[in-house]
Chains A and B, each alone.
Chain A
Amino acid sequence: MRVSEEAYPSLRIMPSALAETQEELPFVVIVRNRAEFFRWLRKPPRALRWLQVEGMLADSEAWAEAAHNASHVPLDVMLFDPASEFSDLYRLVDVCAAREVRVTVPAAPGLAKVVRLAAALRLPIRVLPGQPAAEALEELHDALEFYLHEPMVETPVEFFHSLLAAMSGGDANSLWMILEEDAEAFQLFDADGQPRLPRAADSDKVMTASAAFVETHLNRLIAEGAECATCPWQQQCRGYFKWPDPLYSCEGIKQLFSSIQVAGNEIRKELADIATADAESISSPGGDAI
């Protein structure tokens, strides 16, 4: 099946079978078995940006091929059950020497273990929070604490990393964009070639087809009196945690944002202090700078 030719300026993310018909526009292929994985690894078309590898972390044969294959296609390795899969990250050690590898993990029990081990292996991480339940929320807090205060962490842990950068004075992006779930830039297709949002149920297909989904979604939430209207992090979140269930309580999420904000403020202050000190040392009359 071929994805519709109508104009999607976004990066297309699609299952392997559907991707066979892609030619010019940049795309990402979702691979779920060894045959699909090897097909794209061995003959990557020019427009292929990366492979989203799902459910294959325990397949050592697959990783041996990924470590030795001459192509340099980057990999986004997705975990679905962090608690049982985390230790398999060691299978990626050799792969990292051959190509860029990122680990994507849902906010679920075992998340903190994945973040710790991936960081120890210097693997960039993307945490997909979704609408985390209490246990997962606790692990998100643990993972954030680890990311913020453990000096041995060298690689970015998204979405913490981009939010922290924004709250420290850097460029701001919405969570949808940071997590590559904004349909305006990242268009996910199902096996039927229909565009849809991540985490969307079948009944949501029609509304997710729109690239302007995030704006529409946020406006609807505000109009309906959701807590987003007065949320201090509305610009960064843009209703991310109110999807697909608009009644999800963001109380725990707000604490998470608050922790990032505190760290961002500290960094901002430190940078300002350093700039002030540097300016004083340069402008000080008679200063014996060496």
Chain B
Amino acid sequence: MSERVFSVILLPTSDCNVACDYCFEHKEPHRLSPALLPLLTKRLLDHLENEDIEECEIYWQGGEAMVMGPAWFENAGEVMNRAAAQRGRQFVHYLQTNLIGYSQAWNGVIHKMFDGSLGTSMDYPNLYRKLFKGGAAAYTELWTRKLREAKAAGIGVGVIAVLHQGSLEAGPERFYRYFTGDLGLTDFQVNTPFPGGPAKEVEGGFQLDSSELADFMVGLFDIWMAEGYSSGVSVGPFDALIDHFTGKQARLPCIWKENCSNQFISVDAKGTVAQCDCWVTSYPEYFFGNIFQDADLTRMLKTSRARRDFVERPKRLVEDEDCLSCRYLSICHGGCPVRTYSALGTMMAKDPYCEVYKAVFACAETHAREILRARAAPIVAPRQRHEVVLNHGPRQTERTASGS
């Protein structure tokens, strides 16, 4: 069986319990019916069989996933896992939630179905994540309380932070201290923003100056390397980049995959299939089909005209853009289609954050080189190491020729 892993970003509802300013999703009250779950599961398993894939990662998102309630998830997990086991396949479940609906009642299913961990989101400073009543400050207060309760229940929590103009103004140091110090987190990830869906006024705050954003990201990278890297703090995507540049197996984020169309899809509560949650919630012109109406998901993906653009995009970028001459092509491949589409109205162009990514890659490369140098240095006391340098000159630890 192929070692490939297929991922599905599954939105059991588009409904949400908060009112974030920048949300690009259409908040429909539609919910995935338990009666349709076996059919959804069958379609996914058929696809795994057709593709000779053993494992499928399910990323439960929304809307807000917790709107469905813990009992719904307990049933969903059992139905899906039982069906998978009968066909020699496996689902691995992950939960992404805003945590606002979290209570002790979730602990059982989180430990059982999600291996005791979940992902959530918070920005610094929080200006745009808001409750229906009470605004951003009330949101932050409630979210922080829920975070502490979840951690106290032994749940591992990873946090995604979307950067905005306020983050850049606060600066990387204050930003880092908020997540590691104020919140006591050891695992968080920074995402670049993009104006998904129909344009709204507030999205002006999410059109960041590339140069300022690059400076912020590099500054944050440096702080993490100085303070967090060796003490168990994980900051994505920097940690994956360090793994990559130090020769370890790295799981880079989806925005930098060779071709995201080969790796995952998103399905919403109505059965709509699209490339990822951003597409399924925002851009009907790029829907691939409907998993409940089309009997064969494999065929849908193979024949969808909308999907062909995703498949062809990396090919077009190396033909038309300057990606081929970029030394970071192997870890970027032109970046994220949705970030490109939402900014430029076409996905057949490289990611508008190109210069930001390059700055981050260069920073990662520099830090990784230092890590490798330290590893390559002879295991002697400092005085003796100094003598070696004096005797032989600075040692070239970078490869003169690669692959050798």
Tell me which residues across on chain B come within 8 A of A165, comparing CB atoms.
Answer: 404
Given contacts A98-B2, A121-B330, contact A290 B401 (CB under 8 A): no
Q: Which of A93, A94, A270 contacts B396 (CB 8 A)?
A: A270
Q: How far is the CA of A164 from the CA of B404 in the complex (A)?
A: 8
Whether A88 lies near B315 (C-beta < 8 A) is: yes
Q: Is A90 in contact with B3, judged by CB distance below 8 angstroms?
A: no
- Contact between chains at B259 and A90 (CB < 8 Å): yes
Within the complex, the shortest CB–CB distance from A122 to chain B, in Å, comes to 7
**Closest CB-CB distance, B326 to chain A, in whole Å?**
9
Q: How far is the CA of A161 from the CA of B403 in the complex (A)?
A: 7
Interface with B: A33-41, A129-137, A276-284, which one? Answer: A276-284
Do the beta carbons of A86 and B328 come within 8 Å of each other? no
> Assuming A116-B324, A122-B330, is B381 touching A149 (CB within 8 A)?
no
| Bound Cα distance from A150 to B400, whole angstroms | 9
- Determine if B384 and A117 form an interchain contact, defined as CB atoms under 8 angstroms apart: no
Q: Is the CB of A277 within 8 A of B392?
A: yes
Please tell me if A154 contacts chain B, counting CB pairs below 8 Å.
yes
What is the total number of residues of chain A having a CB less than 8 Å from a CB of chain B?
Answer: 53
B327→A281 contact, CB < 8 A: no
Which residues of A have CB within 8 Å of B378? 277-278, 281
Contact of A277 with B395 in the complex, beta carbons under 8 Å:
yes
Chain A CB within 8 A of B302 CB: yes
Residue of B nearest to A153 (CB): B402
Asked if B186 is at the interface (CB within 8 A of a chain A CB), the reply is: no
Contact between B400 and A267 (Cβ–Cβ < 8 Å)? yes
Contact B4 A98 (CB under 8 A): yes
Inter-subunit contact B402/A281 (CB<8 Å) = no
Docked pose: A281 CA to B4 CA in angstroms = 46
Partner of A94, one of B50, B262, B383: B262
User: CB within 8 A of B391: which of A149, A274, A280?
Assistant: A280
Residue contact B258 to A70, C-beta cutoff 8 Å = no
Known: A68-B51, A157-B403. A289 touches B379 (CB 8 A): yes
Is A64 on the interface with B (CB-CB < 8 A)?
yes
What's the least CB distance linking B153 to chain A, in Å? 38
> Considering the complex, which residues of chain A in the window 39-94 have a beta carbon less than 8 Å from any beta carbon of chain B?
60, 64, 67-70, 86-88, 90-91, 93-94
Asked if B380 is at the interface of the complex by the 8 Å CB criterion, the answer is yes
The residue that B402 contacts in the complex, of A68, A117, A154, A290, with Cβ under 8 A, is A154
A41 to B349, CA, bound (A): 36
Q: How far does the Cβ of A27 sit from chain B's closest Cβ, in whole Å?
A: 26
A266-B258 contact, Cβ under 8 Å, with A150-B327, A278-B378, A288-B380: no
Which residues of A sit under 8 angstroms from B383, Cβ to Cβ? 288
In the complex, chain B residues whose CB is within 8 Å of the CB of A120? 329-330, 333
For the residues of A in contact with B, the DSSP-based class is helix
- Interface-central residue, A69, A94, A273, by most chain B CB under 10 Å: A94
Our pick among A91, A97, A152, A276 for the contact of B3 (Cβ within 8 Å) is A97
Residues of A contacting B365 with CB < 8 Å?
151
List CB contacts (< 8 Å) of A238-290 with chain B.
263, 266-267, 270, 273-274, 276-278, 280-281, 284, 287-290
Interface: B133 (CB within 8 A):
no
Contact A90 B329 (CB under 8 A): no
Pairwise interchain contact B330-A277, C-beta atoms closer than 8 A: no
| Known contacts A68-B52, A273-B392, A280-B388: A87-B319 contact under CB 8 Å | yes
A148 within 8 A of B: yes
A contact residues around B318 at 8 Å (CB): 86-87, 90, 113, 117
Q: Mark B60-81, 1 if CB is under 8 A from A, else 0.
A: 0000000000000000000000
Q: Are A147 and B403 in contact (CB under 8 A)?
A: yes
Complex CA gap A267/B325 in Å reads 26
Instruction: Report whether A121 and B258 are in contact in the complex, using a CB–CB cutoff of 8 Å.
Output: yes
Task: Tell me whether B314 is interfacial, beta carbon within 8 Å.
Answer: yes
Given A152-B330, A270-B396, A280-B391: A94 touches B4 (CB 8 Å cut-off): yes
The reply to whether the CB of B399 lies closer than 8 angstroms to some CB of chain A is: yes
| Residues B403 and A153 in contact, CB atoms below 8 Å apart | yes
B285 at the interface (CB under 8 A from A): no
Q: A116-B329, A276-B392 are in contact. Are A93 and B258 (CB under 8 A)?
A: yes
Contacts of A174 in B (CB 8 A): none
- Residue A164 contacts which of B259, B331, B401 (CB distance < 8 angstroms)? B401
Q: How far is the CA of A127 from the CA of B81 in the complex (A)?
A: 48
B1 within 8 A of A: yes
Query: Most chain-B CB neighbours within 10 Å: which of A68, A113, A157, A290?
Result: A68
Task: Give residues 364-404 of B contacting A (CB, 8 Å).
Answer: 365, 378-381, 383-384, 388, 391-392, 395-396, 398-404
Nearest CB on B from A240, distance (A): 21
Given A94-B4, A121-B330, A155-B403: A287 touches B384 (CB 8 Å cut-off)? yes
Q: Please name all residues of chain B whose beta carbon is closer than 8 Å to the beta carbon of A88 when the two chains form the complex.
A: 315
- Chain B residues with Cβ below 8 Å from A119 are 330
Query: Given A87-B319, A122-B330, A281-B388, are A97 and B2 neighbors across the interface (CB < 8 Å)?
Result: yes
* Interface contact A290-B381, CB-CB below 8 Å: yes
Which residues of A have CB within 8 Å of B327? Answer: 150, 152
Residues on B with beta carbons closer than 8 Å to the beta carbon of A69: 52
Q: B384 and A284: CB pair below 8 A? A: yes
Q: Which residues of B contact A149 (CB under 8 A)?
A: 400-402
Binding site for A on B (CB under 8 A): 1-4, 50-52, 258-259, 262, 302, 311, 314-316, 318-319, 324-325, 327-331, 333, 365, 378-381, 383-384, 388, 391-392, 395-396, 398-404
5 closest Cβ pairs, A-B complex: A120-B330, A153-B402, A120-B329, A87-B315, A288-B381
A and B contact pairs by CB, cutoff 8 A, 14 listed: A87-B319, A93-B259, A98-B4, A117-B318, A148-B400, A150-B402, A151-B402, A152-B329, A155-B403, A161-B404, A164-B404, A266-B400, A277-B392, A281-B388
Given contacts A152-B328, A288-B383, 5 further A-B contacts (CB under 8 A): A97-B4, A152-B327, A154-B403, A280-B388, A288-B380
